[in-house]
Structure 1
Amino acid sequence: MRRLCVVLLMLCALPAWADGFDQLYKAAGWQQQRAHFNDALKAAQQRYSANLPPAVFQALVNNSNQRFAPQAVDQRAEQRLRESLKDPAPALQFFQSPLGRKIVEAELTATRADQLARHTQGLPVIGADATRQLLIGHLAQALPAKQAGAEVSLALAGVAADSLSQMIPGLLGGGQAQGMLEGQRERLMTQIEADLHNTLLYVYRDLSNPELEEFASFAESAEGRAYYQAALAAIRAGLAVGQSNSSLVQ
């Protein structure tokens, strides 16, 4: 679960949109984050290969590849983002600023495959003074990090549920598997929240206190809230949380 917190900042692995959305996509580093997610997914598949019967492993790979096919994820996420975010300009201006670029670089570094492998047992504990802890607390409240982490977990668990249903037909039918997963959202957010402050301290460790304050101010602003709420909605749609693989077949 702690590793998921590190990956939270890939939570907006969104498509290449036209116009201002396209510029926002590029400025915020979503293309690279999507590549990082794909790398992490492939690594997870390889770990399972040694522990699952071949038929079960193949079903898991097939289902995950279908659910997380880049083009399909892009189409679902793009549609939801355009429905949810009225104006990309404020977020674009922020992420094109020197601070925005520094934030994106910190997030991309945190989600690289080598960094995830390095911290499989959890992140180091980061010390911080009272001011920095307060600023991180503001970010933890403003960023939808725990919510996004829960959606990622539910999407990945949904692949496993679909694979189990395929191997044992009728065991979890009629959407029962996805319904069971939906009930785990609050529990997952609680687990992620326990490590969230330290995760944010680690990811943004190279930002100064004034930079953290400016970041928090954007995230807490009306424009920042609109952006992060839209990003969370797009992530949930892109990862098809709560949907079975069969429902995704066009």
Structure 2
Amino acid sequence: MRAFLALILLTLSLPALADPYDELYRSAGWAEQRAHFGDALDAAQTRYRNTLPPAIYEALVRNSDSRFAPAAMDQRAISTLRQALADPQPALAFYQSPLGRKIVAAETKATTQAELLRHANGLPTLQAGSNRELLIRHLAQALPITEAGAEVSLALAGMAADSLSQMLPGVLGGAQADGLLQEQRQRLMQQMAGEVDNTLLYVYRDLSDPELEEYVQFAQSDAGQAYYRAALQALRAALNPPQG
């Protein structure tokens, strides 16, 4: 009887578990990374506490808590993945593989608050053989690392500006603000570009050369490129709710 009831419950649960986009979101570590972003957001809010007037600080916290509400961020990201990625199965299969799980574990460990504090003054410089250096360079070219890093940095740095703009509307016109944002995005990407290889060497330091080569093969494949293009769109959507 218990087995029969369990079978019924499993059957009823299948529709919720069968969505490959939800599965991909979980398997690729998005939920953990969003939680780590929340930790970084809390830390940034704390830093602003003693540097902004109380009214602006209160507006900052209120606006950022609304903009970066976890459930809404998850929803925007998954919805964008669904729209931008025609076939999630190849990426899902990769991230559910032993190598994919190892990669996600390395990535999520690297963005914990403890790790970020530990390396606040920069990552150690790692030495690698020529083959591994080449694999890392190929991986850096295949992944949208600088673009994603710039988006996260802009989101955290833009909290105070968003709050000031709300209290003093019209300080910056839309076109002027967009132009400044694009300039800052390009500047951040240029700064990050010189650090990408060492960052990837450090994050994936526990991957063997054959594992790293398999990762590069996926990242360079049509399916991998389709996923990473969609992932960058999903990240932007998660960090930037529609205006209106």
Question: Given the two structures, how large is their TM-score scaled by the length of structure 1?
Answer: 0.85
Q: Secondary structure at the match of 1:100?
A: helix
Q: 1:99 to 1:174 in 2, by over 3 A?
A: closer
Q: Secondary structure at the match of 1:186?
A: helix
Aligned to 1:91: 91
Deviates more, 1:82-91 or 1:19-28: 19-28
C-alpha contact 1:17 1:25 (8 A) present in aligned 2: no
Deviates more, 1:128-137 or 1:46-55: 46-55
C-alpha contact 1:140 1:196 (8 A) present in aligned 2: yes
1:52-91 mapped onto 2 (5 Å cutoff): 52-91=52-91
Aligned to 1:29: 29
Q: 1:174 to 1:189 in 2, by over 3 A?
A: closer
Task: Report the Cα distance in structure 2 between the residues aligned to 1:17 and 1:196, rounded to whole angstroms.
Answer: 36
> How much does 1:18 deviate?
6.0
Matching residue's letter, 2:49: S
1:1-250 mapped onto 2 (5 Å cutoff): 19-174=19-174, 176-240=176-240, 247-248=243-244
Runs of 4+ in 1 over 3 A off after TM superposition: 173-176
Q: How many positions carry a matched residue from both structures?
A: 229
> How much does 1:165 deviate?
1.5
C-alpha contact 2:139 2:219 (8 A) present in aligned 1: yes
Q: 1:93 to 1:174 in 2, by over 3 A?
A: closer
C-alpha contact 2:21 2:78 (8 A) present in aligned 1: no
Deviates more, 1:87-96 or 1:147-156: 147-156
Task: Report the Cα distance in structure 2 between the residues aligned to 1:238 and 1:168, rounded to whole angstroms.
Answer: 26
> How much does 1:238 deviate?
1.4
Task: Report the Cα distance in structure 2 between the residues aligned to 1:138 and 1:174, rounded to whole angstroms.
Answer: 38
Task: Report the Cα distance in structure 2 between the residues aligned to 1:204 and 1:161, rounded to whole angstroms.
Answer: 35
- Unmatched 5+ stretches in structure 2: 1-15
> How much does 1:186 deviate?
1.8
Matching residue's letter, 2:87: D
Matching residue's letter, 1:228: Y
C-alpha contact 1:161 1:177 (8 A) present in aligned 2: no
**1:140-170: per-residue Cα shift (whole Å, max 9, x none)?**
0001110111112232343332212133333
> How much does 1:82 deviate?
1.1
Rg larger for: 2
Q: For the aligned residues, what is the CA RMSD?
A: 1.9
Q: 1:157 to 1:46 in 2, by over 3 A?
A: closer
Q: 1:33 to 1:199 in 2, by over 3 A?
A: same
Q: Secondary structure at the match of 2:133?
A: helix
Deviates more, 1:56-65 or 1:93-102: 56-65
Task: Report the Cα distance in structure 2 between the residues aligned to 1:189 and 1:133, rounded to whole angstroms.
Answer: 21
> How much does 1:79 deviate?
2.3
Q: Secondary structure at the match of 1:22?
A: helix
C-alpha contact 2:77 2:238 (8 A) present in aligned 1: yes
Q: 1:197 to 1:74 in 2, by over 3 A?
A: same
- Unmatched 5+ stretches in structure 1: 1-15
> How much does 1:72 deviate?
2.2
Task: Report the Cα distance in structure 1 between the residues aligned to 2:18 and 2:38, rounded to whole angstroms.
Answer: 23
